[in-house]
Amino acid sequence: MRRTGALVVALAAVASTAVTSVAAAPTGPTSAKGSVSFHWSRGTTESGTLTYAISGPIMNGSARDRYVPPAYPAGYRPPLNLPTYFRATLTSFSYRVEMHDDCADGTTADTAAIGAGITDRRAVLSHFSRLELDLLRARGVSAIAPDARYRWVNGGIVHDSQQWRGLGEVSIALSGAGCPESTGPRRATVRVDQLIPRGVLIDWSSERTLPVRVLPDGSLALRSAWSSTTGGDGYASRLTANLRLHGALRGLGAFCTWPTNAQLAGARSVEQAQSVVRHAGLVTRFGGDRANAYVAKGHFYIQSGSSTSFCGVPAGTLLYRSLGRS
């Protein structure tokens, strides 16, 4: 079968890099669909599991705040205002913490705090800026983390001051009689971020990456998991994601990887080299011919201070053709 057009140029240019597929950059409205589950536990005394269904457009900060009013304390704001927020619904919840109390009369009492239901299912998850794609290799990485705001003072982030909202709200009930002097409520409604131990939340928010596959239709698939143990607190946690992302990469807040010298080696003209760049999801312009002792004469290369840039956004990064050694 004879192949022609821009696609064969891109395939030829990256033939030496074991590319699995090269898909044209997707266009159209963005959306995400799938599920995310998060579990944490400490020994046999505490465990919790949250399952979120994700469906709908990728939201920027303003749309996120319209979906779930944030009610963050003054001075807290997101690190970036990009379309990186997933519209989520808390579909299932389980929780149990066993407690052993010493009572005032010298006796002991065993009680347990148990998940008793979901009172507000609306939730927000985010990949923040951790959706990084290598389209020429049909792969990438992303993160699924709870929405977080950071305390800003004098234009900078104050570390260890994260605040979380938008993970949903649940009901907790006490099981067991407890101590005779216990007079507190037997049932309470709490935000999920108040329920998850802070160390576990910080660990989840560290944006641990998951592998991403770029499918032939240009959509992105995340079907993976990570597990973690939280320092000396003794907590273990696990996140499992099964997501599909659709739409223009720029609307997903994604970063794309610039082609390497090897991937550009097959290009024989400016047009062919720019075709490879477009298939990588990026936009650049030709900067002319320049001496470069590290790139063979006549070959093209990218002059960039970073290996990635915002997908689909014209960048100051330039494409050059090497004149070899000066």
Q: Please give the pLDDT value at position 168.
A: 96
Angle subtended by helix axes 270-279 and 6-13, to nearest 10 = 80
Q: Rounded distance, CA 82 to CA 147, Å?
A: 13
Torsion of CA 68, 118, 160, 75, to 10 degrees: 30
Phi, then psi, of 247 in degrees rounded to 5: 110, 180
Whether 171 contacts 191, CB under 8 Å: no
Tens of pLDDT, residues 52-96: 999 999 999 889 999 988 888 888 888 777 889 999 999 999 999
* Paired residues of 32 in beta bridges: 56, 245
Of the given ranges (112-116, 182-186, 282-286), which has the lowest mean pLDDT?
Answer: 182-186
141, 191, 189, 139: which is closest to 165 by C-alpha? 191
Decide if pLDDT at 3 tops 70: no
* Paired residues of 226 in beta bridges: 239
* C-alpha distances out from residue 147 to 79, 108, 126, 213, Å: 11, 40, 6, 24
Decide if pLDDT at 234 tops 80: yes
Terminal C-alpha separation, the chain: 43
Q: Please give the pLDDT value at position 6.
A: 38
More confident site: 24 or 182: 182
More confident site: 32 or 231: 32
Decide if pLDDT at 111 tops 90: no
Q: Please give the pLDDT value at position 18.
A: 36
Residue ranges of the domains in the chain? Answer: 6-23+256-322, 31-248
Decide if pLDDT at 27 tops 50: yes
221, 231, 232, 227: which is closest to 204 by C-alpha? 227
Tens of pLDDT, residues 266-289: 999 999 999 999 999 999 999 999
Q: Please give the pLDDT value at position 22.
A: 47
pTM, two decimal places: 0.85
More confident site: 155 or 97: 97
14, 22, 19, 155: which is closest to 79 by C-alpha? 155
Q: Percentage of the chain surpassing pLDDT 70?
A: 90
